[in-house]
Every structure is written in structure tokens, then in C-alpha cells.
Chains A and B, each alone.
Chain A
Amino acid sequence: MKAVVSVLGKDMVGILSDVSNECAKANANVLEVTQTIIQDMFAMFMMIDISKLNQPLSDFSVHMEETGKKKNLVIHVMHEDIFQSMHRI
């Protein structure tokens, strides 16, 4: 099982390390990272493996959202199935 972590916000030092650190704490393995900076906006997408997550995905999702808010970032954790079902037949 995989999930997509998306991070959007103003670029600053340490975003990637903060987010991957939280993933590590939850025992989510980072499989793939794509990041880009448009003007000074930071956009990062991580594909993470959630099959060995040490907490329910819903708790992790809420936790990440709150972590993002503290740093003025918008963080979403969404099960990959939503993208698969919406964009693939």
C-alpha cells in the first residue's frame, strides 16, 4: 500500500528533512521524491510505502497536516488509490 505526501508552501531550509523525518517516525518508507520550485513556491511530492505504518493512516494524515500548519506549509497525505481511480481506467 502506498500513499502520496504533497507539500506546498514558501521555500525554506529543512522542508525535505522535516517531512522525511516525520515519515521515518511513522515507519513509512519513502519510495520516490519529486520536487520543484516555481518562483519561490515549493512543491514536493513523495510516494511513501504505508504497509508497515506504525499508526492508522488517518492519524498520520492529521498529524502531517498539523505539522505543516506550524511551518505555514500545506501538507496532504492521501492514499494513492484516489489518484489511481480518478485518473486511470
Chain B
Amino acid sequence: MINVNEIMETIKMIDEEYLDVRTITMGISLVDCADADIDKSCAKIYDKITRVAKDLVKTGEDIEKEYGIPIINKRIAVTPIAMLVGVSGGDPIKYALTLERCAQAVGVNFIGGFSALVQKGFSAGDEALIQAIPQALAQTDHVCASVNVGSTKAGINMDAVKMLGEKVKEAAELTKDRDCIGAAKLVVFCNAPEDNPFMAGAFHGVGEADCVINVGVSGPGVVRSALAKAPKDLTMNEIADLIKRTAFKITRMGQMVGTIASKRLNVPFGIVDLSLAPTPAIGDSVAYILEEMGLETCGAYGTTACLAMLNDAVKKGGVMASSNVGGLSGAFIPVSEDAGMIHAAREGVLTLEKLEAMTAVCSVGLDMVVLPGDTSAEIISGIIADEAAIGMVNSKTTAVRAIPAIGKQVGDELSFGGLLGSGPVMRVNQASCSVMIRRGGKIPAPMQALKN
């Protein structure tokens, strides 16, 4: 029999500590939609997505009501569109507009997969898709784009890094009257996971089944609250244990929701992404967890160590709670989506350099950072190259989602609204790296690649 304390604990987590399932993401393969005629290809995509995902949103809402657990987003991830462009040729924008129509028809919050995987080089369709990204993001509201420019196995494609610096800037410029939102929907990856349910970087990997359900859990508020109740003299390993216990409970809930959704939709269950994903709501912040461990402000010395421990404890607690773990799994540090990070950045304590160090030990990379509008495309490429190098050498996923705030300077802010939050423009080291970026070519795969 369930006891009263357990019932109270669960209700309190949901009502007061913002526990939720961040997303149910349906991964849909579009390989069988490829056609040499781009219009036929788009028609097949529309038919498949609206057929397979027609009950996704309703199922999510039903589970939400029956189990009393909020499910914030229902999303779709598709096969990287560059592969379809490779078959059909033509203007990739047509695919973006088709995906947008699909998102509106089935009512999902985002659709990811306007993507290309170019870590080792460009194949047919890749370059055309990358060139089209800024326009695609400006002309749509729900479509998200991502490009994988590096991996531990392949090294870093510096030609792609150069292009993406330019595309990030263009995406911001084309949407400058909407707080540069275009750039917030574009992620540049190294070691991109193929089953990531989180946006903007979700796509349906080529090794995946035809259709799967992936779930991303959340719950920084629950972890923070558990730490807040703990005595201040607990040792770091005792805190790690506390985080593990909390992460276990959060993940069990994600596993349950995923299992039910997969059964009701009659689609195989893929993975649970064991992530601590913050929201701009006060209290639902990863930075506050770090501060609860004993830092005055996130970004102070000690932050990287605390984050490394948090990231590891979340995985250790979560892994036993789920039958299949995947995606990004770990702690996210998106600046504009996290009340504590926003505060720390405004105070000037959290700098881009500190964030870069933090990305070496967290589950993603430089996420939702707002740069001065006059930052050159080459410097953005330099930031991407550095992040990709950290990911490549450490065999982990890293990413850059940077938003150049066109027409704004340090001290100004951008406000995206909703879960994307708002962020202060951060100071960027403006020393030039243009000669290095213009070299192009490839950074060879590191020794870590030679595991066989």
C-alpha cells in the first residue's frame, strides 16, 4: 500500500517544485518519403507525419490528466532533411515549410530535424540545406535546425564550422525584429546523439527504428529543494547520494510516462533522457542547485566541480530507474532558460569563459548564450570550434546555440518568451581568429578515436 507521505511527496514535487516531464518526442523516419521529385517528397512527408503523429498531442494530454503529471512539450523529430534534399535536389525551404504545416496540423510545440550530419564532409544535399537554414528558421515558427560538425571518430569539419558561424549570424539578422529568435532554433553539435528528445537539437538518427517515442524528464526544482532541506554540513559525497535518490524518482516517472505513451500510440519506446532541464520559472534552475551546494553565485570558483558531481549523480541515479537511457542525459546549462544563470550573467559572475569550462563536464554545451550583435561570424565560428574540440577530445556531446543580438550591446537583453526565456548580452572576447577560421579543412580525429 502506498503511504500518505509518499503521496504528499509526489504531489509536492509536482505542485511546488516544478516536477514535470519536459517532453514526449516522437521520432519519425522519413527515409521512405524520399522521392526524386521534391514536391512528391514533401507530400509524402506530410502524409506520413500527420498519419503517424495524429494522436501524439491528445495522448500526452490524457496522460497528463490521468496521472496528474504535467507534460510540457509534445514534439516530433525527423530524419535529417539533408538526406532527402540529397535525393530530390531543389529548394530545401520547401521541406521546412512542409514540416511547419505538419507541426501545425498535429499541434506539436516543435519539430526538429532540419539537419545535416557533416562531421567528416559534405554529401549531396548537405551544403544546400545548411545554406537554407537561416531562411527556413525565419519563415517558420516550429521548425528547429541542427548540424553536426564534429565527432570523436571523425574529427572536426572546419569548412562546416566556418559556414555555421555565418549561418548563426544570418539567422539572427533575418529575425532581428523578433529578438533574433532564428538563432535560438539552431544548434551546432559535436557528437550529436541520434535519439535526443530535446529541442532545438532533436533529429531522428539513421540507425533508429521507423518510429519511436523518446521522453525527456526534468526536475531541477526537486533536486534543489532536496538539497535546501539537507543540513549545511553534509559532505559532497553525501550530497551526491541525495541527488542520486532524487534523480531516481524523477526518472521513474519519465519511464512510466514513456511506457504508457508508447503503449497507447502503439509505437516502440526508445529512451528516457535523464536530464535536468531548467525553465525560467523561479526555483526551477540548475544554477540554484549549484548555489545550494554552497556557491554564492553560479560562476564562482567551484562551479565546474559542483556541476561535474551533479551531472554524474543525475546519471547514476537515473540509470537504474530506466530500461533504456539515451539522448543527452545530464545537467543542462542554457543561460536564458535558467533564472539563476540569468542572474549570474547579469551580475557578470558567469562569463562565457566559465561557461565553456562548465561545458566540459555537463551534458551539452554553450546553450542559449546571447552575444553582442556586432560579434563577427568568424568569432562565432571560433566559439563553435572550441566547443567542438572539447566534445571531440572528451568523447561527449557538446553544442553551441548562440544568439547574436543584432543592434544590441553588453548590458542589453533579449527576450524570447516561454521556455526559451530571456538573456543578457554577454561580453565576448573580440580578439580575431579569422585567419584560423578561413583555413578551413579538417581537424583530424584524435587518438581517442582509435579504440578498435
CA distance A34 to B61 in the complex (A): 29
Using Cβ atoms and an 8 Å threshold, which residues of chain A touch B15? 74
What 1/0 mask marks residues of chain A from 65 to 89 whose CB sits below 8 Å from any chain B CB?
0000000001011111111111100
Q: Which residue of chain B has the shortest Cβ distance to A32 in the bound complex? A: B1
Q: Which chain A residues lie closer than 8 Å to B10 at the CB level?
A: 78, 82-83, 86-87
CB distance from B78 to the nearest CB of A (A): 29
Q: Could you say which residues of chain A place their CB within 8 Å of the CB of B62? A: 56, 58
Closest Cβ–Cβ distance, residue A5 to chain B (whole Å): 10
B406 to nearest A CB, angstroms? 44
How many residues of chain B have a CB within 8 Å of chain A?
Answer: 22
Does chain A have a CB within 8 A of B54?
no
Taken residue by residue from 44 to 65, chain A's Cβ proximity to chain B (1 for < 8 Å, 0 otherwise) reads as 0101000000001111011000
How big is the A interface, by class? 20 to 34
Contact in complex: B67, A81 (CB < 8 Å): yes
B256 contacts A by Cβ under 8 Å: yes
- Knowing A80-B2, A82-B256, A84-B2, say if A57 contacts B66 (CB, 8 Å): yes
Q: Are B67 and A86 in contact (CB under 8 A)?
A: no
Partner of A61, one of B7, B66, B256: B66
Cα separation A85 to B254 with both chains bound (whole Å): 10
> When chains A and B are docked, how far (Å) is the Cα of A83 from the Cα of B256?
10
Does A4 sit at the interface, judged by CB under 8 A? yes
Asked if B68 is at the interface of the complex by the 8 Å CB criterion, the answer is: yes
Min C-beta distance of B321 to chain A, whole Å? 9
A83 adjacent to B65 (CB under 8 Å): no
CA A87 to CA B66, docked complex, whole Å = 18
> What is the CB-to-nearest-CB distance from A30 to chain B, in angstroms, rounded to a whole number?
15
How many whole Å from A68's CB to the nearest CB in chain B?
13
Cα(A69)–Cα(B136), bound, Å = 45
Chain A nearest Cβ from B60, distance in angstroms: 11
Q: Which of A34, A47, A77, A86 contacts B252 (CB 8 A)?
A: A86
In the complex, residue of chain B having the shortest beta-carbon distance to the beta carbon of A50: B66
A81 to B63, CA, bound (A): 12
* Known contacts A82-B10, A86-B10, A86-B249; A58/B65 CB under 8 A: yes
- Tell me how far the C-beta of B63 lies from the nearest C-beta in chain A, rounded to whole angstroms: 8
Complex Cα distance, B63 from A43, in Å, reads 25
Q: How far is the CB of A65 from chain B (nearest CB, A)?
A: 9
- Tell me the smallest distance from the CB of A38 to a CB of chain B, in Å: 11
Is B255 close to A, CB under 8 A? yes
Residue contact A83 to B2, C-beta cutoff 8 Å: yes
The interface residues of chain B lying within 8 Å CB-to-CB of A78 are: 10-11, 66-69
Query: Residues of A contacting B7 with CB < 8 Å?
Result: 4, 6, 45, 83
Contacts of A62 in B (CB 8 A): 65
Bound Cα distance A5, B2 (Å): 13
Beta-carbon nearest neighbor of B14 in chain A: A76
The distance in angstroms between the C-alpha atoms of A58 and B68, with both chains bound, is 9
Q: Which residues of B contact A74 (CB under 8 A)?
A: 15
Say yes or no: B4 contacts A34, CB within 8 Å. Answer: yes
A74 to B12, CA, bound (A): 12
29 contacts between A and B (CB under 8 A): A4-B7, A6-B7, A34-B4, A43-B8, A45-B4, A56-B62, A57-B66, A58-B61, A58-B66, A59-B65, A61-B66, A61-B68, A62-B65, A74-B15, A77-B68, A78-B10, A78-B11, A79-B68, A80-B2, A82-B253, A82-B256, A83-B7, A84-B2, A85-B252, A85-B255, A86-B6, A86-B253, A86-B256, A87-B249
